[in-house]
Homo-oligomer: A and B are copies of this chain.
Amino acid sequence: MLRLVMKFGGTSVGSVERINEVANIVKNEVVQGNEVVVVLSAMAGETDRLVNLAKGISDSFTPAEYDTVVSSGEQISVGLLSAALNNMDINARSYMGWQIPIITNANHKSSRIESIRSETIINSLQKGLVCVIPGFQGVSNEGRITTLGRGGSDTSAVAIASVIEADYCDIYTDVDGVYTSDPNKISNAKRLDKVSYEEMLEMASLGAKVLQTRSVETAMNNEVLLRVLSSFDAKENLKEGTLVCDEDKITDKRVVTGITSSLNDTKITLVGVRDKPGVAAEIFMSLADSNINVDMIVQNISEGGSTTDITFTVPKVDADKSEKIMSGITESVPYERIIIDNKIAKISVVGVGMRSNAGVASGMFNVLSDNGININVISTSEIKISVLIDENKAEKATKMLHKFFELDK
């Protein structure tokens, strides 16, 4: 007997037919004697519909009311699935976030889970019930509905799996696993049988949309075994997904595991910055104060010693805000001019094997140079190398690197 958390995303429950299909996948586990908790997103399109209603009322919609409105999407899907299971003679019931409860902080629209009353769930499982729980939502200590922010359903599933000590947290989605690169763009991308938390974390934050970053973090910190599975070919392809686990559990190690390409960044260059201590701190503190995540930073060698150029990247959605902040600090940080570049792509090569393999970086740079692709900015971590290049070259670069590191084999 296994104890499973099964999480299904919006497209997996996008219609009555799909909900019945999900009920069949759940039933399949139940009849094998497994204990099952199901975590659901809202039906595809539903959250957008609700967000648009809210936008229609006001751009500065009250956050607590926003959560009340938007959380209803998951309330609908869990009610429908519970009844669909009942209809198949499976004992099941829905639990809203406040009924368990899943306590979060009161930071509406992007709350964090503080605690989950696992007894509610475990007692229910021991009575032979399937618990169907809405992802994405919780309740604050003040008793108001909260939401975890977009993509929060994965995090809900992992957090629940952790507190009830589930054997696996299965993330059912519209793809059948994690690939060496985006299979929509790289036709010979291969599905990975296993990937380490660290690699998945890098790949998630770099734009592989399979899992939400915070959920991978939570899984890593609590050693929850994650499986990425398809809800669309579940019958033929059962459990042939990707296991996200500790590095130690992966025997067949590659140097490079995956290659990602992202168009979500803006490059900002401050030209002719007075080169004196405290300048970098001033720039990046001012951005951090506005909750803007700066990713890559490069400071060029100053010519003559009096001025320097500072280049950094921010999320594209924060580009305008960042420009405004930079124009507000010219008194304390004088600079000649600012260059904003939106036409860039970030290409990253990820793999835990890099730790013990020199030569990945030089191999990567050679491939790009051989193909006439100019590198703007480089940044590296222990298991990742990212470069900024012209966005028009992104697909070519990804293909060439995918081939060079033999990910199609």
Contacts and interface: CB of A to CB of B under 8 A. Distances in A.
Interface of A: 16, 19-20, 50, 53-54, 56-58, 60-62, 64-66, 68-69, 71-73, 75-76, 78-80, 82-84, 86-87, 93-94, 96, 98-99, 143-145
Contacts of A96: 68, 145
Contact of A54 (B53, B78, B83): B83
| Secondary structure type dominating chain A contacts | helix
Given A58-B87, A72-B73, 14 more contacts: A16-B57, A50-B76, A54-B80, A58-B86, A62-B86, A65-B80, A65-B83, A68-B75, A68-B78, A68-B82, A68-B94, A75-B75, A99-B143, A99-B144
**Number of identical protomers:** 2
A66 B60 CA distance: 33
B53 A80 contact: yes
Nearest to A120: B143
9 contacts: A57-B84, A58-B84, A58-B87, A61-B83, A61-B87, A65-B83, A68-B96, A72-B75, A96-B145
A52 to B, nearest CB: 9
Contact of A76 (B62, B72, B79): B72
Contacts of A58: 83-84, 86-87
Given A75-B75, A99-B143, A99-B144, A57 B69 contact: no
A120 B19 CA distance: 38
A79 B68 contact: yes
Contacts of A98: 98
A69 B60 contact: no
B50 A62 contact: no
Most buried by B among A19, A66, A84: A84
Contact of A65 (B50, B62, B64, B94): B94
Nearest to A82: B65
A87 B57 contact: yes
